[in-house]
Structure 1
């Protein structure tokens, strides 16, 4: 069952995605394959329905998230993101990482919530910029290898954003 997620939901293949259309398509597919509809069917039919429902859930989760959608698009277009082995990033982004890390350490050291909130804002803007770059590289230029670098950077931004959010929560506790 190696179905293209976009085909499963009858959506155009691309990074830009109408989330309402995705939600509607997901509900339609789930309505057709939900295991409850096959409660009185034979064992084989129930198993196939469960497989389709599982695939629909996986596809929905992958397409709903910009990061997962970008990863999926790179992968189906033959680009291995090499997440475990390729840690190369643009020098400017590496310098930004160091600045963010220092800002987080400084803000946590003196329990400065305003500094943490400012850092959260910077990360939200950086996330939006990475998503915009990915959209352009995938949808306009069809440059999946170039998009892969921004996907890895977006992964860092998201992970670091969680650290900052946890630091804010720790101050509020």
Structure 2
């Protein structure tokens, strides 16, 4: 049974242990169970106040689910829970090695043009880097409990995600 008193914590709402690595199936099952309990259709004959509360709760449940479902938003949420501001807008400093890698990928994307083989090779390389970053976030959050360091990895992951979207667009073209 889901903990509906967990309004201030998305993990508590779904009765999940706060962690970066979560079981997707457990999140899905908890979401469906909670959504079933709070869905406005279930409260159609309730008072207006109860209907409003049900609608607000359903909105909260959907927001919580979307946040926890995606690794980056889940990581940012965990940082927030631990009082860490990842400074996404103000801190764009990245290690030189990471910036050089970004430049190399951009050059490779430009040089590949519409060559699907080259684009697929680049996509595989970028996806491997994404996987490594996700692992680093998991380690720094779930093992070391160093949310400041995890925030740095999350900022890098945002760069990689943005580039991945550009790469996918190029591959679709």
> Same-fold call, TM > 0.5?
yes
Q: TM-score, normalised by structure 1?
A: 0.94
* Superposed CA offset, 1:19-43 (max 9, x none): 1111110011001100101111111
Conserved? CA contact 2:7–2:13, under 8 Å: no
Partners of 1:114 and 1:51 in 2: how far apart? 48
Unaligned runs of 5+ in 2: 1-5
CA apart distance, 1:2: 4.7
Root-mean-square deviation (CA, aligned residues, Å) is 1.0
Task: Tell me, yes or no, if structure 1 residue 120 matches structure 2 residue 123.
Answer: yes
Runs of 4+ aligned structure 1 residues displaced above 4 Å come to none
Question: Residue 98 of structure 1 is aligned with which of 55, 79, 103?
Answer: 103
Alignment correspondent of 2:3: none
- 3-state DSSP of counterpart to 1:84: coil
Partners of 2:74 and 2:38 in 1: how far apart? 23
CA apart distance, 1:113: 1.3
Conserved? CA contact 2:105–2:122, under 8 Å: yes
Question: Residue 149 of structure 1 is aligned with which of 144, 152, 167?
Answer: 152
Task: Tell me, yes or no, if structure 1 residue 79 matches structure 2 residue 84.
Answer: yes
Unaligned runs of 5+ in 1: none
